[in-house]
Structure 1
């Protein structure tokens, strides 16, 4: 049995109980990672941006038999297509004008370690075919060279979308897809693991409270309900940014405003799945509900969160307003000042963040 917690700590990864939470979907991801980590089979990790693909790659490497070797990341879309081949496979001296020395590519640097292709779907077909050769027989040729070189590495790839759609459109090789996804790990978006939200929020609040020397008040129940009902398009990355701002500023009002978009800028829109018949009545009801919620929030803010005044402004009963607040999961009280922490007075400005063990990469969950 692999000692996953010890291995994660050795590689400065977040605690696994925080990383995977308690939802069935994430526990299945954890089990699959621990089962395949000790093998050399290629792994494809799929998930929306901000769901934690890179941290899972790091964990796979930490638990693998190649953990003593390097984890070499290639951010595929960040490298121009004209340079991608030389970046991956290196080049020989004199291969082209300016090639005054031999350079090792990322593939060769990952020898006896792990090669991580991030956003693998952006690779062009020519590079895919060359990587296919590496996967088939473990050999490659540097640009400008003739000697076939052997390589022993474990390939892990990540993709934001379903690569089968790219196969159908002709931008991704089917044989390459078969090679890179001997095992596929699908990371659920945050909106599908809402039960893990309190764990993640507590983790980020604790981390940034130490970093900024601020101890904010506990989030209200209504704010938590709002966060649990939110769809989180940016996933864990968006959640971390939101909590970091909350700890630094101490305003629940600002946090709520981030979760409720300004319709005066974006207009009333709805995500509609047109792959099946839609109910105009349901869509209209949801759009009306969203707009109503935003109007109530703006009037609350204009009246300094005085609910009696807000009800009068909206020409509804006080009881109706309380019901609507509860139904929408909106805060019923104004934002509270942050609680003073050791060494800080309540009205003191926050101390400038200083490098410490608490501000290390351990906070990253994506």
Structure 2
């Protein structure tokens, strides 16, 4: 009988492996006859499998230092000359680029952060971000040379290439995943977002919305004021701005923020009634589905945003709530809708870990807790 592989998917091995390192080496060798491809590949692959994802970025950048010119001005020419054509400009979303170019951004940070190199470094990062987002690398320049970098990003916000425009938002996000924090206030990039929010490209506007969602975790009022101002300006088409607004306010909506709900047209004090809230089973095992149903009756015409909250048991015996989206309705007065939901309690979920014990389930409508139940989870 054939054995099934139990190996899990490895993102780091998919992004950084012998094939990708050879590809990078070929790019340099194709434009620089003196580039020692064989030794670059050997030094790059050595120890690579022992490193985590971001460590591999740093490792390849440090190896590259042995094969490029000691003169940073010459080294940047070697880098930009080796680059393939920019990413397809006809695409408008989800074209993140090739991760193998991340070490080139790290190289620029390691060697071009001195004041005398800032302009050249930023020009190089601009070229690189058309092949792979330099959102991580640009943050070092924002922190070290804030005024010069933010002034350059203001220009990039109107660039013809949407990857460059996106970087003006993504690189300045207060809580960018996988990246260090910025030293500037979380609202510093609002002037950039004022320009970018009208962008015709979803790749850019998604970044703007994510950026606002980051700010909302620290200064929600600024986000609500900004979105209101953009609505009044009416320079972005209404459907796209509505999508951006929902995406930007998603954290505040989950928290039941009344002002955020109002921006989206939901009353924080809805005139609705919950009835016949039932769990199909109140005792479950890991991997089984929590099934529940309930009726919603409107006492007036009412837009309703329905979420549910599971209070997950933690290892120390306390519980931690997690909000899940369920449904959005536009109910007419006196109408009743029956809602059913099946939520699989995965033992290996990426965002939470299951522990046995009593869990809570709360129905949340327009940010308000409306009805509750409990269920027991067993291994």
Shared fold (TM-score, shorter chain, > 0.5): no
User: Which structure shows the higher helix fraction?
Assistant: 1
TM-score, normalised by the number of residues in structure 1: 0.25
User: Which structure shows the higher strand fraction?
Assistant: 2
Q: Using CA pairs below 8 Å that are at least 6 residues apart, which structure has the higher relative contact order?
A: 1
